[in-house]
Chain A
Amino acid sequence: MNIDFFGSLPLVAIWLALGAIGIVIQAFVRNNTKLVFGYYVGTLALTAFLAILSSGAKGSSFGGMIVLGGYAAYFDVLFCGAGILAMLAARPYLDRLNAELDEFYTLMVSAVAGMMLMAHASNLVVLFVGVELMSISFYVMAGFLRTDIKSVESALKYFLLGAFATGFLVYGMAMLYGGTGSLDYVEIGKAVSNGTATYPMFLAIGTVLMAAGLSFKVAAFPFHQWAPDVYDGAPTVVTAFMSTAGKAAAFSAFNPVFAAIMPDGVGGITDTMRLALAVMAAVTMLVGNITAIAQTSVKRMLAFSSVAHAGYLMMGIVAGTAYGHSAIVFYLTAYMFMQMGSFVIVGYLEREQGDGSDIENYSGLSKQHPMLAAMMAMFMFSLAGIPPFAGFFGKYMLFYAAIQSGYTWLTIVAVASSVISVYFYLGLIVKMYFTDAPGKKTTFATGTAGFTIAICSVAILLLGIFPWLLTNIISTW
């Protein structure tokens, strides 16, 4: 068995730093959230650094269980970055609620480890372990505010439906194994494209079940019902983390799995499946955006918009081309920054005004917090896909990928639903800039959350104006 130790370093590092050292530190050091916070930020930074260092080491390791370098290393950096940003935002948020426990950071790092496994997976077993590691951490984090009934409800809903979806996923894996006799992506891909699968019927059932399981994780129609409630009820920083990094992780696994079981230009059942995914993507966008219009809570509105964005991202899977896959990577990166930034702002304002995610509380924000309002406006423009922000270029890439593969109708639906989405994104901006605040409100310091918001806004500006910064990296894979 070949073990490319250097290439596997990011995974080994986070595994040891969390499991063998971090937990022991937490066992012996009590009531020192500052130390644990610092330690885990350091862990993620180190892992990201090692991932950058080993990004050139392409190939596979541990007997083909994981892929290294390039794609996987990029996602390592993305997830670690998301983890750090979310931790920075979480500290002041939890502090205000008197709910800061060092285990929060432990769970965040273990979720990141799970996501990294998903991106690295080249075998369905590894994918499953990664999905579970991420999901279990999310279930607990969603219910972290144990005295808040909404948080508990969100955790329970997430857990029950998530466990059910994992059932689909595992059943799908079993069917794929039954159909092709292998759990390895490469082997499955070969069996599908050469038409040598022993049991094509099992393969077809497996594909559908995998699609259902993964659609749940990305919150795509018809498996999206959990998302608004869970995202709404969970602590806002947790929502910021799981609706961005969690979705990115699910897509980072969706991508290679469906590249293997649904290769380009095989025809037959693959085309049917592609069409089914295209319909799912179209309905997801429409449902997400239309329902978002009716929301009065900004947090809930963003939750529905997150469903809609899963629809856009699925266009890349439907396209199935290399360009489609790089479009997904670009849009995921852009989406991560814009969505996380806006959720962190929601979390901050909610902090200031009690349960203040109601849209009325945003009126006159531009006068109280000019900087915050400007950044929120930027995130909204980017989410709506208006240039010169990163969201625009990402959408452009996805639309182009879909047209290239002959899914013009899907692109038309996507453009139409983007237009719908402008209504509520701009509605919030209008509220912030063109209405007056009902009363005087006191302001708080943003604390470390300010860094998160600042980094997110700089990132979407940079990616929007200089998209080649990222596309150049993608093209080297």
Chain B
Amino acid sequence: MEVQVILFAIFAVGAIGSAIVTVTRKNPVASAMALVGHFFMLSGLYLTLEAQFVAAVQVLVYAGAIMVLVVFVIMLLNLGTEQQLAERSSYLRGTLGTLFAALFVILLALAITSNPSGANQLSSKAVEIGTTESIGQSLFTQYLFPFEAVSLLLLAALIGAVILAKRHVQEGA
């Protein structure tokens, strides 16, 4: 068996396992920690797809920054006994959830099996596409316009955050 396959198996099992832990824990902080683990596993999966840059960003932004926000929200909610948050499981919701998940799995299986044989291989160009160099090159040439537009998006988010969290804007700086 190839190294690639073994690594994929490890990361895939890890990702699914930590995802299950995330949704089943009663303590939200434990869920959040399991989510960190999940993000790391995802990052590993990206590596098996030769997407190095995405893998690095996944760890930096998701496992780092976004998780800080998640933990902050848990603290902001001030749940006291976090266990109270646990929802009562509903029979209907469980059935529907399983049904739709099953449908989705069938759909994906169909999509993957309907492809011409050998087409599920990783493209030979994948290695060069995934590097930071190649992303930098296309970000500043082909995707220059969306890149510049993103700065406006970040700006709007910044102003939105300030205005929602700080209603009474101070006099003077």
Question: Would A and B touch once assembled, by the CB under 8 A criterion?
Answer: yes
Which residues does A use to contact B, with CB under 8 Å?
1, 15, 18-19, 23, 30-31, 61-63, 65-66, 101, 103, 106-107, 110, 113-114, 117, 123, 125-126, 128-130, 132-133, 136-137, 139-140, 143-144, 146, 198-202, 205
Whether B149 pairs with A30 at a CB distance below 8 angstroms is no
Whether A66 pairs with B163 at a CB distance below 8 angstroms is no
Asked if B100 CB lies within 8 Å of chain A CBs, one says no
Residues of chain A within 8 A of B107, CB atoms compared: 205
Whether B148 pairs with A199 at a CB distance below 8 angstroms is no
Whether A106 pairs with B159 at a CB distance below 8 angstroms is yes
Q: In the complex, what residue of chain B is closest to A179 when comparing beta carbons?
A: B111
Query: Known pairs A107-B159, A140-B163. 4 more at Cβ < 8 A?
Result: A117-B149, A137-B160, A199-B115, A205-B107
A21 vs B107: C-alpha distance when bound (angstroms): 49
A204 to chain B minimum Cβ distance, whole angstroms, is: 8
A253 to chain B minimum Cβ distance, whole angstroms, is: 14
Asked if B89 CB lies within 8 Å of chain A CBs, one says no
Whether A65 pairs with B143 at a CB distance below 8 angstroms is yes
Whether A23 pairs with B155 at a CB distance below 8 angstroms is yes
Which residues does B use to contact A, with CB under 8 Å?
107, 110-111, 114-115, 119, 141-146, 148-153, 155-157, 159-160, 162-164, 167, 169, 171-172
Whether B156 pairs with A126 at a CB distance below 8 angstroms is no
19 contacts between A and B (CB under 8 A): A1-B142, A1-B144, A15-B149, A18-B155, A30-B172, A101-B169, A103-B159, A107-B156, A110-B156, A126-B146, A129-B146, A133-B149, A137-B160, A139-B160, A140-B159, A140-B164, A143-B164, A199-B111, A201-B111
Whether A137 pairs with B141 at a CB distance below 8 angstroms is no
Enumerate the 10 nearest inter-chain pairs by beta-carbon distance, A residue then B residue, closest first: A140-B160, A62-B145, A201-B111, A110-B156, A65-B145, A201-B114, A125-B146, A103-B163, A129-B149, A133-B153
Residues of chain A within 8 A of B143, CB atoms compared: 65, 125
Using known A-B contacts A146-B164, A205-B107, determine if residue A129 contacts B144 with beta carbons closer than 8 Å: no
Whether B141 pairs with A130 at a CB distance below 8 angstroms is no
A315 vs B167: C-alpha distance when bound (angstroms): 43
Residues of chain B within 8 A of A126, CB atoms compared: 145-146, 149
Whether B141 pairs with A63 at a CB distance below 8 angstroms is yes
A146 vs B145: C-alpha distance when bound (angstroms): 35
- Point out the residue from A18, A201, A205 that lies within 8 Å of B152, measured CB to CB: A18
Residues of chain B within 8 A of A107, CB atoms compared: 156, 159-160, 163
Residues of chain A within 8 A of B146, CB atoms compared: 65, 123, 125-126, 128-129
Residues of chain B within 8 A of A31, CB atoms compared: 171
Whether A1 pairs with B152 at a CB distance below 8 angstroms is no
A259 vs B106: C-alpha distance when bound (angstroms): 29
Q: In the complex, what residue of chain A is closest to B108 when comparing beta carbons?
A: A205
B96 to chain A minimum Cβ distance, whole angstroms, is: 14
A129 vs B111: C-alpha distance when bound (angstroms): 28
A139 vs B163: C-alpha distance when bound (angstroms): 12
Q: In the complex, what residue of chain B is closest to A66 when comparing beta carbons?
A: B145
A202 vs B172: C-alpha distance when bound (angstroms): 55
Main secondary structure of the interface of A (DSSP, over half): helix
A360 to chain B minimum Cβ distance, whole angstroms, is: 33
Q: In the complex, what residue of chain A is closest to B170 when comparing beta carbons?
A: A30
Q: In the complex, what residue of chain B is closest to A137 when comparing beta carbons?
A: B156
A113 vs B153: C-alpha distance when bound (angstroms): 10
Whether A201 pairs with B110 at a CB distance below 8 angstroms is yes
Whether B152 pairs with A19 at a CB distance below 8 angstroms is yes
Residues of chain B within 8 A of A133, CB atoms compared: 149, 152-153, 156
Interface core residue of B149, B160, B171 (most chain A CB under 10 Å): B149
A103 vs B163: C-alpha distance when bound (angstroms): 7
Residues of chain B within 8 A of A146, CB atoms compared: 164, 167
Interface core residue of A18, A123, A198, A201 (most chain B CB under 10 Å): A201
Q: In the complex, what residue of chain A is closest to B150 when comparing beta carbons?
A: A129
Q: In the complex, what residue of chain B is closest to A111 when comparing beta carbons?
A: B156
A183 to chain B minimum Cβ distance, whole angstroms, is: 9
A427 to chain B minimum Cβ distance, whole angstroms, is: 37
A183 vs B152: C-alpha distance when bound (angstroms): 22
A137 vs B153: C-alpha distance when bound (angstroms): 9
Residues of chain A within 8 A of B156, CB atoms compared: 107, 110, 114, 133, 136-137
Whether A198 pairs with B164 at a CB distance below 8 angstroms is no
Whether B144 pairs with A199 at a CB distance below 8 angstroms is no
A103 vs B159: C-alpha distance when bound (angstroms): 7
Q: In the complex, what residue of chain A is closest to B171 when comparing beta carbons?
A: A30
A23 vs B146: C-alpha distance when bound (angstroms): 20
A127 vs B148: C-alpha distance when bound (angstroms): 14
A202 vs B163: C-alpha distance when bound (angstroms): 41
A205 vs B110: C-alpha distance when bound (angstroms): 11
B69 to chain A minimum Cβ distance, whole angstroms, is: 13
A447 to chain B minimum Cβ distance, whole angstroms, is: 23
Residues of chain B within 8 A of A129, CB atoms compared: 146, 149-150, 153
Whether B145 pairs with A19 at a CB distance below 8 angstroms is no
Residues of chain A within 8 A of B152, CB atoms compared: 15, 18-19, 110, 113, 133
Whether B163 pairs with A23 at a CB distance below 8 angstroms is no
A15 vs B162: C-alpha distance when bound (angstroms): 20
Using known A-B contacts A107-B159, A139-B160, A146-B167, determine if residue A201 contacts B115 with beta carbons closer than 8 Å: yes
Using known A-B contacts A1-B141, A63-B141, A201-B110, determine if residue A132 contacts B153 with beta carbons closer than 8 Å: yes
Using known A-B contacts A23-B159, A125-B143, determine if residue A199 contacts B119 with beta carbons closer than 8 Å: yes
A144 vs B151: C-alpha distance when bound (angstroms): 23
Q: In the complex, what residue of chain A is closest to B104 when comparing beta carbons?
A: A205
A200 vs B112: C-alpha distance when bound (angstroms): 11
Whether A198 pairs with B160 at a CB distance below 8 angstroms is no
Q: In the complex, what residue of chain B is closest to A124 when comparing beta carbons?
A: B146
A124 to chain B minimum Cβ distance, whole angstroms, is: 10
A117 vs B151: C-alpha distance when bound (angstroms): 13
B10 to chain A minimum Cβ distance, whole angstroms, is: 25
Q: In the complex, what residue of chain B is closest to A12 when comparing beta carbons?
A: B148
Q: In the complex, what residue of chain B is closest to A127 when comparing beta carbons?
A: B146
Residues of chain A within 8 A of B159, CB atoms compared: 23, 103, 106-107, 110, 140
